Amino acid sequence: MKIVLAKSSTQDIKTKGYVVFVSEEQKKAKLEGKSAAEKAIAQKLTKYEGLAKGKNKVTVFRALDLHGVENLIVIGIGKEEDFSAETVRQALAEAHRALASEKIEKAHIDMRTLENFKLDTESLGQAAAEGLVLASYTFDELKGHSDKKAKASKKEAHYELMTNGKDKALERGLKQGQIIAEATNFARRLGDMPANLMTPSILAQEAKNIAKGTDLKVTVWDKARIKKERMESFLGVNLGSHEEAKFIIMEYRGAAASKKPLCYVGKGLTFDCGGISIKPAAGMEEMKYDMCGGASVIGTMGALARLKAKVNVIAYIPATENLIGPEANKPGDVRIARNGISIEVNNTDAEGRLILADALVYASEQKPKWICTAATLTGAIVVALGNIHTGYFTRSRELAKEVETAAEQSEELIWRMPLTDFHAEDMKGTYADLSNLANSRGAGSATAAAFLEQFVDKSVPFAHFDIAGTAWNAGNRFNYFPKKGATGAIIRTFIQMALNEQ
């Protein structure tokens, strides 16, 4: 998508689509009426009584000839007192959706009609770009293989934004928003790809792809190296699969070497059939999304490098399938993690924690400032929070504050969940140090978090985000979410956390 600022001019413009925004309190669009077209638009909106001004309501005036403006699209933004960056994100998402359904690829969007509400210009630009780019995500590359022509004729949207001349701050915001949203769309695509086309090797290649042209360094460990690094808990999950496990390492240095790195770890389970503790057939195809935590971490790294964030960041994505080959983990098998902790695999379907365990040990050894994991870890979090909030777990008051601040800025919905010694107690093993299955009933997401915590150095603050409910099919609650498919959950918050560390 191309988003550019229109050259300021008092002349009429020739355009197929012109977008303006109106609040419920406004009698007409906030146009200054410098050109004949603007005067005509303002007049039209004043005269038209049926104009829908409620939040995300759309009115389209087609086939006009308003001094060069062919179609006028009016987006309602609701009550002015409720105005926030989220209003802008949704309003611009609605604008893109309306333009796309009118098949208008080139359009003008009047940002002046969104100014002078209580939002600084940079945030306005960021939310606007996020709304446009996030709403533009589609996943249809696997459709219409025989019709290459139709595919090639699909044009990239090109939007010119009309502004008041406070362009520097707006441009900064737009650029930041576009980078963040493009990284989110990148991650969504990885999630939506079927498992045969998104294997651990392909996921690793995608991490290299997003690093191209940036200062990101990507290293991929193969099975032999993973073995040499004593990541037996991770490798055990890979044994039932023909596809080789990969350990993806991403590094970005944007600050002095003396500054501790931030660390993200993502679950890169490219398909989870459950292993010998096999999942039911109904809905199993959804387990291609079990690498969404990894995809979100890859997207986060890609965005931070493009934003040239002044922080040091490292990321680890253990990637494997969880299948049923002759060598697969059997219930009761014991594996020793990199830190020497022995684990009884009492349910082969609780594999996310097994692959993250070794990654967390390795991450801790790098002495990061903190570690955040993103994982589609438990069905229990879906029971607890549905697909509205991402549940997160941390024992660190300071890190919780950082998380909350970042999520308030990103406007992603998160909810803090409990994590205590009681949960850790429930993960003790009978024959080994730990069991991957809680020996208690309920609180399955908290016991999973307590298991992960055993592999993090006590001196490193740790937060775990269970995105099993929010990583896909999140109910189209936001108009910039796909109706079905991967959402790119927690990327915007992860990026914001790192930006706040600058």
The least distance separating ligand BES from the CB of residue 260, rounded to whole angstroms, comes to: 31
Q: Catalytic residue, from 279, 310, 369, 395: name it.
A: 279
- What is the pattern of x (binds Zn ion, CB under 5 A) and - over residues 325-364? ------------------------x-xx------------
Tell me which of Zn ion, ligand BES, none is bound by residue 204, counting a contact when its beta carbon lies within the kind-specific cut-off of 5 to 8 angstroms: none
Q: Which is nearer to ligand BES, 347 or 366 (CB)?
A: 347
Tokens coding 413: 């919905």
Residue 279 annotated to the active site: yes
10 Å CB burial of residue 103 (0-12, 13-18, 19+) is exposed
CA angle in degrees (0–180, nearest 5) for 1-13-17: 50
Q: Which is nearer to ligand BES, 272 or 321 (CB)?
A: 272
User: Rounded to an integer, what distance in angstroms lies between the CA atom of residue 209 and that of residue 217?
Assistant: 11
| 161 contacts 6 by C-beta, under 8 angstroms | yes
User: Rounded to an integer, what distance in angstroms lies between the CA atom of residue 237 and that of residue 350?
Assistant: 10
| 172 contacts 216 by C-beta, under 8 angstroms | no
- What is the pattern of x (binds Zn ion, CB under 5 A) and - over residues 253-272? ----------------x--x
The least distance separating ligand BES from the CB of residue 471, rounded to whole angstroms, comes to: 7
- What is the pattern of x (binds Zn ion, CB under 5 A) and - over residues 288-317? --x---------------------------
Q: Catalytic residue, from 44, 112, 288, 353: name it.
A: 353
Tell me which of Zn ion, ligand BES, none is bound by residue 468, counting a contact when its beta carbon lies within the kind-specific cut-off of 5 to 8 angstroms: ligand BES
The least distance separating ligand BES from the CB of residue 266, rounded to whole angstroms, comes to: 13
User: Rounded to an integer, what distance in angstroms lies between the CA atom of residue 361 and that of residue 339?
Assistant: 6
Residue 492 annotated to the active site: no
| 88 contacts 139 by C-beta, under 8 angstroms | no
Q: Which is nearer to ligand BES, 51 or 287 (CB)?
A: 287
Summarize as ranges the residues that interact with ligand BES (CB under 6 A). Answer: 272, 290, 347, 349-352, 376-380, 382, 437, 444, 468
User: Rounded to an integer, what distance in angstroms lies between the CA atom of residue 482 and that of residue 502?
Assistant: 32
| 200 contacts 194 by C-beta, under 8 angstroms | no
10 Å CB burial of residue 224 (0-12, 13-18, 19+) is exposed
Tell me which of Zn ion, ligand BES, none is bound by residue 450, counting a contact when its beta carbon lies within the kind-specific cut-off of 5 to 8 angstroms: none
Tell me which of Zn ion, ligand BES, none is bound by residue 474, counting a contact when its beta carbon lies within the kind-specific cut-off of 5 to 8 angstroms: none
Q: Going by C-beta distance under 8 Å and a sequence separation of 6 or more, which residues neighbour residue 12?
A: 35, 36, 37, 67, 68, 69
Residues with catalytic function: 279, 353
Interface positions with Zn ion (CB under 5 A): 269, 272, 290, 349, 351-352
